[in-house]
Chains A and B, each alone.
Chain A
Amino acid sequence: MDGNYYLDALVKGDSKVVSKIYDVNFKQVKRFILQNKGNTEDAEDIFQKALLQIAVRHKKDGIHINTTFDGFLFTVCKNLWRRELNSHKSRVTNSEIVEQVSEAKDNARAIIEQKRQELFIEMLDKISENCKMILSLFFAKVSYAEIIETTEYTSETVVRQRVFKCKKKLTDLIKEDLRFNSLREL
């Protein structure tokens, strides 16, 4: 699906295009959610939220999609579902009272979070392949012992130093990017 054509039609509320987006993409999203602890109702909810999120973003700033519309939509759905699963988790583990926010505010926050993730991944792609590989393992909470097993590094100290240097490159790039100002935690 051509990205920009679908974005424009979606913002305009073109019901034919919206139906087509459903026909082409919903099954895949539903399958993903059913395989990850959700049900059909969750899939409907996430799919609708994702389309709305994309429309609002495109209307506000204009989105430019590098891949296909389908791929982009699937990533947004996947992330919204990750968000949903983690919000349940924090509600269960935190004894603090969860702040009640309006649906619009919660949707707005989800956009900030999605944009933040996109920025991080974009910057991760800018550093060297080696740094990207080692940081991907590090952020996935793979232990140092396992990192040593899967790379050519021979000791924990060397891996730690490498992680430190790579992380510095990544965080410098993120901080230099103007978009980060409105996305960062205060």
Chain B
Amino acid sequence: MNLEDDILIEQFLRNELSEQEKESFLERVKNDADFREEYLLEKQLFESLNEEEWSFAENIDNKETNELEALFESKEIQNLKEVIKKASTKPKVSRGKIISFLSGFAAAVVLGFLILKPMFSPSVLDTNVLYAEYVDFNNLPSFIERGIDDAKGTLIEAEKLFKQKKYDESAVIFQEFLKENKSESGAYIYAALSHAELKNFDKAIEILDTLKESDLIDAEKAYWYKSLIYLKEKQTEKAEKELQYIIDNSLFNKIKAEELIRKFQ
């Protein structure tokens, strides 16, 4: 293939040709076998190696697909499908299982303990998992992405400490920052989450209440993070109340709040 054809294929794949050029391109794909082969391979490469896309198998030799299809329909694989389904719905830690490992007196003590304080109950276990999933540390607003200026230098440092899980240090810096700068909503959120990680739940809620009472655009985010911190603290009733408020008033993350509330109710 020559460079001109290569550029032409690339322009087609990047959608840079006019309607008329596209038409003649497709005509050539239909009639010129070599050109078609080059085009198809490049299309597959573009789609496979680009994270945003996917290269679908549209017209391939049927032999292998037929063999695979037969395997998927085989009894053995159908049975495996059931095994996999069961594993997905199986409670991860059941009380029965814990007790079966213990005997006599030990089991009685554990059982008594469970009745008094159900620390192994699924709802309690789930709240921490739910917190971890929904708090989504990777997608918190970043000060780094917004570029560096003098006022933000401290925030960038504190964010780095937060990401390194040095929550005691990040909590202090964010709080110090907030004493002088009351309009940086992200700092309230990071300060609160740092305290939540250190299990200083009251402090975390207090910081979010300050954000909630502020006149910042992001003030409503306080409800979302409060609900998550209550979840982490296993205060499901309080978490539910915050989530319901988000839903009723269409606040930040309403859809996620609806999804979340269904999970722990």
A interface with B by C-beta (< 8 Å): 10-11, 13, 15, 18-19, 21-23, 26-27, 30-31, 34-35, 39-40, 44, 47-48, 51-52, 55-56, 59-60, 79, 82-83, 85-87, 90, 102-105, 107-109, 111-113, 116-117, 120-121, 124, 135-136, 139-141, 160-161, 164, 167-168, 170-171, 174-175, 181-186
B67 CB contacts on chain A under 8 angstroms? 60
Return B41 CB to nearest CB of chain A, in Å: 6
B136 CB contacts on chain A under 8 angstroms? 34-35
**Chain A minimum-CB-distance residue to B40:** A185
Return A141 CB to nearest CB of chain B, in Å: 6
Say yes or no: A113 contacts B55, CB within 8 Å. Answer: yes
* Interface mask (B3-38 → A, CB under 8 Å = 1, otherwise 0): 100110000001000000000000000000000001
Mark out the residues of chain B between 152 and 176 whose CB falls within 8 Å of any chain A CB in the assembled complex: none
Return A62 CB to nearest CB of chain B, in Å: 13
Return A133 CB to nearest CB of chain B, in Å: 13
Stretch from B45-53, B115-123, B187-195 contacting the other chain: B45-53
**Does B150 have its Cβ within 8 Å of any Cβ on chain A?**
no
At the interface, is chain B mostly helix, strand, loop or mixed?
A: helix
**Does B101 have its Cβ within 8 Å of any Cβ on chain A?**
no
Say yes or no: A13 contacts B80, CB within 8 Å. Answer: yes
Question: In the assembly, what is the distance between CA of A120 and CA of B49, in Å?
Answer: 8
Question: In the assembly, what is the distance between CA of A27 and CA of B92, in Å?
Answer: 12
Most chain A CB inside 10 Å of its own CB: which residue of B38, B40, B50, B259: B50
* Interface mask (B132-163 → A, CB under 8 Å = 1, otherwise 0): 01001011000000000000000000000000
Question: In the assembly, what is the distance between CA of A108 and CA of B70, in Å?
Answer: 9
* Interface mask (B226-256 → A, CB under 8 Å = 1, otherwise 0): 0000000000000000000000000000000
Question: In the assembly, what is the distance between CA of A109 and CA of B139, in Å?
Answer: 33
Question: In the assembly, what is the distance between CA of A164 and CA of B6, in Å?
Answer: 7
Question: In the assembly, what is the distance between CA of A186 and CA of B59, in Å?
Answer: 6
B interface with A by C-beta (< 8 Å): 1, 3, 6-7, 14, 38, 40-46, 48-51, 53-61, 63-73, 76-77, 79-81, 83-88, 90, 92, 129, 133, 136, 138-139, 259, 263
Question: In the assembly, what is the distance between CA of A51 and CA of B46, in Å?
Answer: 27
**Chain A minimum-CB-distance residue to B61:** A182
Q: Given A39-B259, A140-B51, are A83 and B56 neighbors across the interface (CB < 8 Å)?
A: yes
Question: In the assembly, what is the distance between CA of A171 and CA of B61, in Å?
Answer: 19
Q: Given A136-B49, A185-B59, are A19 and B90 neighbors across the interface (CB < 8 Å)?
A: yes
4 smallest beta-carbon distances between A and B, as pairs: A108-B68, A139-B49, A104-B72, A86-B54
